[in-house]
Structure 1
Amino acid sequence: MLQTKFHIVLNANSGGATRLGITAERLHGLFAERGIAVSVDADASRPFAERLQTARNSPAEALLSAGGDGTVTALAEVAIATGRSLAVLPLGTANLLARDLTIPTTLEAWFEALGEMAPRRIDVGEVNGQIFLHKVVIGAVPGIAAAREKLRGHDGFAARIAFLGHFVRRLSRLRRFAAEITPRSGEPRIERVQSIAVANNDYGEGLGQVFHRPRLDEGMLSLYLLRQLRLRDALRLATEMVLGSWRNDEVLEMESVRAVVVRTRRSLVRAMLDGEVVTLQGPLRFRTLPLALSVLAPPVAEAEPGLVEPEPEAG
């Protein structure tokens, strides 16, 4: 049984926490049943930066994110800075990192698997000194995501129709923009696009494997250029992603890089970073930080490709 002491940062407003009734008291009880000591920060009234500082100062051996992907990314930065492992109790909507690492996404299964979890080193991406675990997107997507954020907490048919209406209107008004793209090992070039995404490692294809990364340790970033995104393009891409055949779509261009600089005419660039809408100072300087983060995750099945520890270099 795992005996690591955890400091837990709980996002009590995440979808999973509210749906399952996850509180600090319940987390204390669940871990105590297994003989694991924890400290839990569930104080949503404090600024999140202060809560991260508390995590940084905690004497706990490992940090645990109990929330969505945004909480995971924020706490990962603390884990890297303090040389500790990060555990992920997925309580968000997408839970992308947990799914890539085959971390169970139900509470019962997660606690059943906890005793078998072990540290695994994975890559992280960095843009202008800020880390990301999944991807950074500029262009069309952040505006759509911002509208979705306004509807957060408003479930039901009316909210879905409102978002769909905004999505269609947004697509009809999209304009391409010029971006100068300079890979570390290449010459600058000008591209006209509607969106640019830079992902931490590459997204694979496969039936139902939407935004799934088979490897998190290749030490590469994937640059995706979306040339245009009309309504018919969006519908076709969505279908191809579900069917696992999207990589050769005519509106996409992909490139693997270790570092890249993206310049646009704007000095301030609105972006979606791991699901959160942020404003970044241009130009955007991306690089990969290979194996920078230690994450507690279940062992990799021998038959499963990817997500394996790299072999030590000879000599």
Structure 2
Amino acid sequence: MSLDRYHVLLNSRSGAVRALGVTPEGLAARFERHGLDATIDGDLEGRVEDRIARAAASDAEVIVAAGGDGTVTSVAERILGTGKAIAILPLGTLNLLAKDLGVPLDIDAWFAALPGMTPKSIDVADVNGRIFLHKAVIGVLPDIAAARERIRGAGLLAKLRYLLYVFRRVARSRRFALEVITETGEKRIERVHAIGVASNAYDEAFGHFMTRQRLDTGLMTLYKVSRSSPLGFLRLAAGMLAGRWRDDPSLHIQPAHSVTIRSRKPRLQVMIDGEIESLETPLHFTIKHKALPILAPPAREAATDTEPKFAIAP
């Protein structure tokens, strides 16, 4: 695949963009200095859907999603099956998919690595026609994530109030019943505080928090949290950091090629790659094996920086 032309879609609302002073002009100067042919779309007024449609209709071979995980998923959804590849310029809060792929989080390192990146075909999961590249979560976590978005860019006091909200929300959460049906036809009524469906499976290793070595197994993994409390929540998070969480008594893990989740509620709040959606039930989950070409360094080295860095070109 020829990778001579890039179309960059900059999400100015992503976690790191404003904090780091990222501008369309600064990005254009960066690409030009590296001798790369790029069109920068930093339109702050246009609808995201229209901007992505323009990117998909462009003559660029690579669409660069400059933002967080939600931005990457939105771009991938539109260009899936077009023959174009996607690249991640990680400017979000967590940048989970970029870390899984070993994409540099530092801007200077990213530009240095870009010419050597090659397309890697990864799996694409789907729920009711809405794709996700990392995970979809039902339960207490979507509420916590929505509250996190409301305090983005706020001061220390707001962040302390958010931590108190998380503690209270977990403490007050109640289990709810869902019917889970796998591709074998097995049906189970699950009473859970939260259930997550991940594309592929999370690693169990020291310091690896929600990371995946494999993105192309063709399998999803269900993570069902049957009991939750503030201390249990902290124990599970600590276990994930320590690399010992699969045996947590509150967690049940199940691989599946497809799964259907039924609820008495006509709609459920679902967090899809960091974005909150209200989806009609039942929820039908499937996975497309190696359906998306995405640029990654040929040798996967861990991206250890916790925050990207950006210096505006003079």
TM bin, normalised by shorter chain, reads over 0.9
Shift of 1:16: 2.2
Q: SS at the partner of 1:15?
A: coil
Following the alignment from structure 1 to structure 2, what is the Cα–Cα distance between the partners of residues 133 and 8?
A: 19
Between the aligned residues of both structures, percent identity stands at 45
Q: Which residue of 2 aligns with 1:198?
A: 197
Q: Does the C-alpha gap of structure 1 residues 84 and 3 become closer, same or farther in structure 2, counting only changes over 3 Å?
A: closer
Aligned to 2:123: 123
Q: For residue 52 of structure 1, what is the aligned residue in structure 2? A: 52
Q: Partners in 1 of 2:47 and 2:3 — Cα distance?
A: 30
Partner of 1:11: 11
User: Is the alpha carbon distance of 1:3 and 1:34 closer, same or farther for their aligned partners in structure 2, counting shifts above 3 Å?
Assistant: farther
CA distance in 1, matches of 2:80, 2:188: 34
1:209 aligned onto 2:208: yes
Q: Give the conservation status (yes or no) of the 8 Å contact 1:133–1:274.
A: yes
The CA distance in 2 between the partners of 1:99 and 1:213, in whole Å, is 9
Tell me what 2:38 maps to. 38
Alignment of 1:225-240 (within 5 A): 225-240=224-239
Shift of 1:3: 5.2
1:33-182 aligned at under 5 Å gives the runs 33-154=33-154, 156-182=155-181
Q: With the length of structure 1 as denominator, give the TM-score of the two structures.
A: 0.92
Contact persistence 2:3–2:61 (CA under 8 A): no
Instruction: Using the TM superposition, give the Cα deviation of residue 133 of structure 1 relative to its aligned residue in structure 2, in angstroms.
Output: 0.4
> For structure 1, which runs of at least 5 residues remain unmatched after alignment?
303-315
- CA distance in structure 1 between the aligned counterparts of 2:163 and 2:17, rounded to whole angstroms: 26
SS at match of 2:202: coil
CA shift digits 1:113-140 (9 cap, x unpaired): 1121011101011000110000000011
Q: Is the 8 A contact 2:62 2:84 kept in 1?
A: yes
The offset of 1:19, in angstroms, is 2.7
Q: Aligned runs of 1:162-311 on 2, under 5 Å? A: 162-300=161-299
Residue 92 of structure 2 aligns to a residue whose secondary structure is: coil
CA distance in 1, matches of 2:259, 2:159: 37
Q: Cα distance, 1:172 vs. partner?
A: 2.1
- In the aligned structure 1, how far is the partner of 2:237 from the partner of 2:178? 25
What CA distance in whole angstroms lies between the structure 1 residues aligned with 2:198 and 2:220? 6
Structure 1 CA distance for aligned equivalents of residues 145 and 88 of structure 2? 24
| Greater RCO (CA < 8 Å, at least 6 residues apart) | 2
Distance in 2 (alpha carbons) for counterparts of 1:55 and 1:197 = 31
Give the superposition deviation at 1:208: 0.8
SS in 1 for 2:16: helix
Aligned to 1:152, what secondary structure does the other structure show?
coil
The residue type paired with residue 251 of structure 1 is: S
Partner of 1:308: none
Q: Is the 8 A contact 1:3 1:36 kept in 2?
A: no
Q: 1:3 to 1:121 in 2, by over 3 A?
A: closer
How far has the Cα of 1:301 moved from its partner? 5.2
Q: CA RMSD in A?
A: 1.3
Gapped runs of 5+ residues in structure 2? 302-314
In structure 2, give the amino acid aligned to 1:239.
A
Once the two structures are TM-superposed, the CA of residue 15 in structure 1 deviates from its matched residue by 2.6
Q: Which moved more, 1:73-82 or 1:190-199?
A: 73-82
1:220-262 residue CA offsets vs partner (Å, 9 max, x unmatched): 0001110011111011111111101011100000000000000
